[in-house]
Structure 1
């Protein structure tokens, strides 16, 4: 179902963000983003002169190479288009993200390494979305391995771990007492009832 019909309006700005998750042959994963900003009207840019409609104001690339445990092995940034000549100088600083783990505290750690004058606002903003894409990319792989480990433990006569998955409580579908959560992790029913 689409949004309701809008009031009459004129397009002024367009930001397109492409996000992709890749499995590499070497066992690592690449999460890539491309951010493109354009305007629907001509305007003057103090560094680039007259910008025509549709001309890229920002054309920014970012790649996180991660392990299955969500640790960043490498980060690479590149700028095809920027509003100012100095902007591409921020790109090498994003390599400072190597060694971080995507998870709790990730945004704070990113701000410490490439925040303020050391980074690029637009690339920092897209990192949060890249973290989500990393989870989405790796979820089937990690879930399969967890199921296999549980089956191995059960086959060996051991109790399967019953920890609350991190996604429980993260949205309406994964509310602790939602039917989705309780169907997927039935042992949580005791917690939801108690």
Structure 2
């Protein structure tokens, strides 16, 4: 469904972020991200006028990841910047991404490593799209999303959880992570009927722990004993 018809208006600025994933011959994956800013007019900058048609920014970021979403290499590059010779000095800072994992607090940890004057504001903005781009790239190619275990590769035998439950008995990875695929929603009811109305164990445990903590009839020792067995 398209957006509603806009009020009369004029184009003033255009930003585009593009991210592309590549599977390499050595088994690793590259994600190349590019950010561009354009204005439909000549733009006076501190270093001079940027003519209409040339970008204010054209910035590049590449991360290389393994099949477990660990960042094993990272580099940044800038083709167009407002302060040529100065903006590029931030590029080496993005090597700090090496060692992070895209599924484990990546946005928060990357933001902390590259905050403020350490990095480039706009290069750092691109980091936010990298985890979901990698997930989209891995689905069907690396991951079997019929399993509830992200990171488990297609064709592998289902692993076992701590309580012996087969990973294949968990909901598909994508369920319960957005409005359309909520467990009590129509999409799950229609396309994943087995999981319609499912309550994730993390929610069950949280509700159980909360009820124990809030139960005035339990002694301090009894409350601690119940929680210890969760």
In structure 1, the gaps of 5 or more residues are none
Number of the residue aligned with 1:69? 68
Q: Comparing both chains, which one has the higher relative contact order based on Cα–Cα distances under 8 Å and sequence gaps of 6 or more? A: 1
More helix by share: 1
Q: Report if aligned partners of 2:58, 2:81 keep a CA contact under 8 Å in 1.
A: yes
Shift of 1:184: 4.0
Q: CA RMSD in A?
A: 2.6
**Equivalent position SS for 1:91:** helix
Q: Report if aligned partners of 1:71, 1:101 keep a CA contact under 8 Å in 2.
A: yes
CA deviation string 1:64-120 (max 9, x = no partner): 100111110111100001111311111111011000001242111102221211111
Number of the residue aligned with 2:121? 121
What TM-score do you get using the length of structure 2 for normalisation? 0.72
CA deviation string 1:115-174 (max 9, x = no partner): 211111111111111221111001212117656335799xxxx96323455533321222
**Equivalent position SS for 2:101:** coil
Shift of 1:178: 2.9
- State the number of aligned residues: 188
More strand by share: 1
Bigger Rg, structure 1 or 2: 2
Q: Report if aligned partners of 1:17, 1:34 keep a CA contact under 8 Å in 2.
A: yes
In structure 2, the gaps of 5 or more residues are 146-151, 205-230
